[in-house]
């Protein structure tokens, strides 16, 4: 193989012949002014275009170089070798170009880069200190030195492996170096673009891997639409996983993988899912899991959650360490603050898309990290829409304040309340505003009143809680919201017990929040003996108790009257039965008379038969003969049997008549 210098010397002697091969005068001038290394006879003419790179000013004049690169010089390296912070192209020819990327130096040959990278041909290469080679510094190179190493291997024709981890950096690097098809078919831009389109975007798992690799490729990845196309791929996969029959493990894997992305990329995915019309509850699940992953475990040391929030299964309880007053700078947790503000901005508008427990937890975290008041207000409005689903422990928001001018956050000073009562008051106001618009149902009002009474009972033991704040919370609901004031009385009693030095005026003012008429008899009995209540309140309780006792007595009297009327109704039933028995008795008497008449007629018939029998005594012998005859034997037996049956029937009827008469006498005796 001839060396580069031998080829150059040979072609220098025949430069007049080579002039004919140049098509333009500019090409010849370029040939005359360039060093001998650039004047190799060309087998193809390449026009170097301005690379599409944001690092170069578009207004700068374009420089065109017609460079002739022999095919044999594009694959002069067998491999690459690393020594310390330097990479060397293993070749028989000495390197003539030094490329610095970050802290890594590459000693390579110029012509393999010129054959595939238009960016290298466009810039003016500066000679090195030794004047033996050229030097090129690539600042803000996409993907860094690791990606440039793969690009060098591609330019030298060495085998390169594309995968989801290096596809995006290589695509951005190819765009940086302007490795287009105009220089060579199958250049790096077309290869990486084909890999992304055919392999990556068809798999949401590979798309997530590419998005992770794009986190350090701004603005190249956004300008090349790599991020947008990956987000669309993930959104389509979400629609397929959650609208068709998929396993729960597959859905959970999708949610957990999406939650590992950076917040700006996660916002793009949620936006793409929203534009595709995915269900709001699915969006809420994504936001919930993302917040759990990035915000839980980032609490500062002065707040100790006894239980972590895990998608509504466990309740998050806070305890503030006493005797400490550490300060948190507002700029100490910018990442957490940005995550919270971003998640609040993409919350679904549907009421039940996100649980009230999660919203209250987000509000606590927003106050911990001093999120902008606009986002805190948005969270309070969203909580007010679903306040009926909250629990007492969810409303126990730790009391944080901001120390104004210094912009520092102080935890639980001596004058500060244990819980943030003002936030709950604002949430109640938003709830009442939303309830007026939506016409809240009565059972929701009852649940809210019970929730508020239990909340008052929890915060009543705070020694720093003023009577005014307690009264404002107690009187925030309308009068018709509470059906019974027993819970409110319990909370007031706890507050009076925890604040024994409260003035009589403040006691009366607090007790005006409850209606004594809505207290149960048990509560009235307890309040009448409660020496912590003002005298006027005790008198009102006694009067209410007396009225309730009267009502109870009146109800009992009404119940007694109802019982007497029921007894009268019960007595009316035997009278009707007696009337029925009398009617039956009359019927039996008529039947007895008929039987007596029949009996008299029978006796008369028997008497007539005897008289006839005596008159016909002479005919007895003849009758016996006729009786013995076979002609009349059958008829005689039939008549005789008939007479016996008649006698039996008459005997049974007599027995029935006698038994019926006996039953009648018994009934008369009973009546």
Give the other-Cβ count within 10 Å of 611's Cβ. 9
CA nearest to 386, candidates 423, 412, 420, 349: 349
pLDDT at 312: 40
pLDDT at 343: 96
pLDDT grade, residue 506 (50/70/90)? very high
Query: Distance of CA 121 to CAs 48, 52, 127, 248, Å?
Result: 6, 14, 15, 54
d(C-alpha 10, C-alpha 19), whole Å: 15
pLDDT at 356: 95
pTM of the predicted model as reported, rounded to 2 decimal places: 0.65
Average pLDDT over residues 3-7: 36
pLDDT at 659: 63
pLDDT grade, residue 108 (50/70/90)? confident
- For 42-193, CATH number? 3.30.710.10
pLDDT at 85: 80
d(C-alpha 97, C-alpha 79), whole Å: 16
Answer yes or no: is pLDDT of 431 > 70. yes
Number of H helices, E strands in the chain: 27, 11
pLDDT grade, residue 416 (50/70/90)? confident
pLDDT at 456: 96
Sign (positive or negative) of CA dihedral 217, 221, 227, 229: negative
**Strand partners for 81:** 88
Answer yes or no: is pLDDT of 27 > 90. no
Please give the helix or strand (H or E) that residue 99 lies within, else none.
Answer: strand 97-101
pLDDT at 482: 87
Identify the top-confidence range among 295-309, 311-325, 453-467: 453-467
Answer yes or no: is pLDDT of 391 > 70. yes
Answer yes or no: is pLDDT of 619 > 60. no
d(C-alpha 154, C-alpha 149), whole Å: 9
pLDDT at 373: 94
Q: In what order do the strands lie in the sheet with 327-329?
A: 327-329, 408-411, 400-402
The mean pLDDT of the chain is 75
Answer yes or no: is pLDDT of 392 > 70. yes
pLDDT at 125: 73
What does the DSSP 8-state code read for residue 388? G
Between 661 and 27, the more confident residue is 661
pLDDT at 536: 87
Residue with tokens 């805190």: 376
Answer yes or no: is pLDDT of 341 > 50. yes
Residue 328: what are its φ and ψ, rounded to 5°?
-115, 125
Annotated domain spans of the chain: 42-193
Answer yes or no: is pLDDT of 490 > 50. yes
Between 10 and 236, the more confident residue is 236
d(C-alpha 538, C-alpha 522), whole Å: 14
pLDDT at 26: 42
pLDDT at 417: 86
b/e 139-167 (16+ beta carbons within 10 angstroms → b): eebbbbbebbbbbbbbbbeeebebebebb
What digits encode the pLDDT tens for the residues 257-273? 999 999 999 999 999 99
Answer yes or no: is pLDDT of 202 > 50. yes
Between 568 and 344, the more confident residue is 344
b/e 481-494 (16+ beta carbons within 10 angstroms → b): bbebbbbbbbbbbb
3-state secondary structure 210-257: HHHHHHHCCCHHHHCCHHHHHHHHHHHHHHHHHHCCCCHHHHHHHHHH
User: Beta-strand (E) ranges in 357-447?
Assistant: 400-402, 408-411
Q: Dig out the tokens for 191 from the structure.
A: 């290869």
d(C-alpha 411, C-alpha 302), whole Å: 8
pLDDT grade, residue 429 (50/70/90)? very high
Answer yes or no: is pLDDT of 317 > 50. no
- Are the C-beta atoms of residues 340 and 371 closer than 8 Å to each other? yes
Give the other-Cβ count within 10 Å of 520's Cβ. 14
In this structure, the chain runs to a length of: 671
Cα 96 to its chain centre, rounded Å, is 61
Q: Dig out the tokens for 581 from the structure.
A: 């028995």
Sign (positive or negative) of CA dihedral 108, 113, 117, 121: positive
Range from 231-245, 364-378, 397-411, 573-587 carrying the lowest mean pLDDT = 397-411
Residue 91: what are its φ and ψ, rounded to 5°?
-155, 160
d(C-alpha 240, C-alpha 286), whole Å: 15
Non-local (6+) Cβ contacts of 222 within 8 A are: 228
Q: Are strands 134-138 and 126-127 parallel, antiparallel or unpaired?
A: antiparallel
Residue 180: what are its φ and ψ, rounded to 5°?
-95, 175
Please give the helix or strand (H or E) that residue 341 lies within, else none.
Answer: helix 334-345
Sign (positive or negative) of CA dihedral 594, 600, 606, 609: negative
Average pLDDT over residues 172-176: 95
Q: Are strands 327-329 and 134-138 parallel, antiparallel or unpaired?
A: unpaired
d(C-alpha 464, C-alpha 230), whole Å: 53
Answer yes or no: is pLDDT of 337 > 90. yes
pLDDT at 51: 36
d(C-alpha 272, C-alpha 182), whole Å: 35
What digits encode the pLDDT tens for the residues 49-94? 333 333 333 333 333 334 444 444 445 667 778 887 888 878 778 8
Between 268 and 407, the more confident residue is 268
Identify the top-confidence range among 44-58, 486-500, 527-541: 486-500
Average pLDDT over residues 104-111: 88
Q: Are strands 408-411 and 327-329 parallel, antiparallel or unpaired?
A: antiparallel
Query: Distance of CA 210 to CAs 148, 171, 224, 314, Å?
Result: 18, 11, 13, 35
d(C-alpha 38, C-alpha 26), whole Å: 14
Average pLDDT over residues 243-263: 81
Answer yes or no: is pLDDT of 200 > 80. yes
pLDDT grade, residue 320 (50/70/90)? very low
3-state secondary structure of 523: helix
d(C-alpha 155, C-alpha 497), whole Å: 83
Between 586 and 424, the more confident residue is 424
């Amino acid at each position: 193989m001839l060396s580069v210098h031998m080829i150059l010397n040979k072609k220098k002697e025949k430069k007049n012949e080579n002039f004919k091969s140049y098509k333009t005068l500019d090409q010849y001038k370029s040939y005359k002014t360039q060093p001998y290394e650039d004047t190799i006879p060309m087998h193809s003419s390449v026009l170097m275009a301005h690379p599409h790179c944001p690092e170069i000013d578009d207004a700068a004049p374009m420089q065109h170089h017609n460079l002739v690169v022999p095919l044999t010089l594009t694959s002069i390296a067998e491999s690459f070798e690393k020594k310390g912070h330097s990479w060397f192209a293993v070749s028989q020819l000495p390197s003539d170009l030094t490329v610095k990327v970050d802290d890594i130096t590459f000693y390579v040959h110029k012509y393999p880069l010129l054959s595939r990278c238009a960016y290298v041909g466009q810039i003016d290469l500066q000679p090195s200190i030794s004047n033996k080679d050229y030097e090129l510094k690539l600042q803000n190179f996409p993907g860094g030195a690791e990606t440039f190493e793969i690009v060098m291997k591609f330019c030298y024709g060495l085998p390169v492996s594309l995968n989801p981890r290096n596809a995006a950096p290589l695509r951005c690097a190819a765009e940086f170096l302007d490795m287009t098809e105009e220089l060579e078919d199958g250049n790096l831009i077309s290869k990486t673009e084909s890999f992304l389109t055919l392999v990556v975007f068809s798999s949401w798992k590979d798309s997530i891997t590419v998005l992770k690799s794009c986190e350090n490729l701004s603005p190249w990845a956004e300008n090349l639409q790599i991020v947008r196309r990956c987000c669309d791929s993930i959104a389509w996969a979400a629609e397929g996983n959650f609208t068709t029959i998929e396993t729960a493990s597959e859905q959970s894997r999708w949610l957990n993988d999406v939650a590992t992305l950076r917040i700006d990329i996660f916002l793009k995915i949620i936006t793409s899912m929203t534009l595709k019309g995915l269900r709001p509850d699915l969006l809420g699940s994504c936001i919930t899991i993302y917040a759990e992953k990035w915000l839980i475990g980032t609490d500062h040391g002065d707040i100790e959650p006894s239980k972590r929030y895990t998608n509504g299964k466990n309740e998050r309880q806070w305890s503030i360490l006493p005797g400490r007053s550490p300060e948190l700078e507002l700029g100490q947790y910018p990442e957490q603050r940005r995550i919270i503000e971003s998640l609040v901005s993409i919350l679904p508008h549907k009421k039940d898309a996100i649980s009230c427990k999660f919203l209250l937890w987000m509000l606590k975290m927003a106050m911990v990290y001093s999120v902008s008041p606009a986002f805190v207000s948005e969270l309070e409005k969203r909580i007010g829409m679903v306040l009926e689903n909250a629990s007492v422990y969810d409303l126990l928001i730790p009391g944080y304040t901001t120390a104004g001018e210094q912009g520092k956050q102080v935890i639980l000073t001596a004058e500060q309340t244990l819980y943030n009562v003002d936030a709950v008051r604002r949430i109640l106001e938003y709830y009442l505003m939303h309830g007026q618009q939506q016409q809240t149902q009565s059972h929701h009002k009852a649940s809210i009143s019970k929730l508020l009474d239990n909340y008052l009972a929890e915060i009543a033991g705070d020694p720093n809680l003023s009577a005014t704040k307690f009264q404002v919370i107690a009187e925030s609901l309308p009068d018709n919201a509470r059906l019974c004031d027993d819970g409110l009385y319990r909370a007031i009693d706890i507050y009076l017990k925890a604040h024994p030095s409260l003035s009589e005026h403040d006691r009366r003012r607090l007790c005006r929040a409850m209606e004594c008429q809505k207290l149960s008899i048990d509560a009235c009995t307890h309040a009448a003996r409660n020496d912590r209540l003002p005298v006027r309140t005790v008198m009102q309780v006694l009067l209410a108790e007396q009225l309730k006792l009267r009502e109870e007595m009146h109800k009992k009297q009404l119940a007694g009257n109802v019982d007497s009327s029921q007894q009268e109704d019960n007595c009316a039933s035997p009278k009707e039965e007696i009337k029925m028995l009398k009617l039956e008795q009359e019927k039996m008497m008529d039947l007895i008379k008929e039987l007596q008449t029949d009996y008299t007629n029978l006796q008369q018939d028997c008497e007539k038969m005897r008289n006839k029998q005596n008159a016909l005594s002479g005919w007895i012998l003849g009758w016996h003969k006729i009786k013995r005859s076979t002609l009349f034997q059958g008829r005689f037996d039939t008549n005789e049997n008939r007479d016996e049956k008649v006698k039996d029937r008459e005997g049974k009827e007599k027995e029935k008549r006698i038994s019926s008469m006996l039953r009648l006498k018994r009934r008369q005796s009973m009546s």
